[in-house]
Amino acid sequence: MDTEKNNRQPTWLELERVLERPEIEDLTSLSIDTLKRHHRDKFVNLSPRRIGMKLRDALAIASSK
């Protein structure tokens, strides 16, 4: 049952979830500096000092490598 849950496609609502910096780096395997340099347009400002990114954008970056 656990493998079924891990193999399913995320729903549109899950894809709109905003990830924080550590999750983005883990998912994409890129440093935050590299992400800022090449994908600045995908970031969401959570506060003046915190940034995030939607899951769908992080998955797109991870799959394009």
d(CA 3, CA 41): 34
Residue 22: pLDDT band with limits 50, 70, 90: very high
Which of the pair, 2 or 40, is modelled with greater confidence? 40
Tell me the average pLDDT of the chain. Answer: 92
* Alpha-helical segments (H) within the chain: 2-7, 12-15, 21-28, 32-39, 55-64
Number of domains in the chain: 1
d(CA 17, CA 11): 10
pTM for this one?
Answer: 0.83
**Structural domain for 47, as ranges:** 2-64
Q: Which residues of 23-55 are buried (b: 16+ CB within 10 A; e: fewer)?
A: ebbeebebeeeebeeebeebbeeeeeeebbbbb
* Structure-block tokens of residue 5: 């849950």
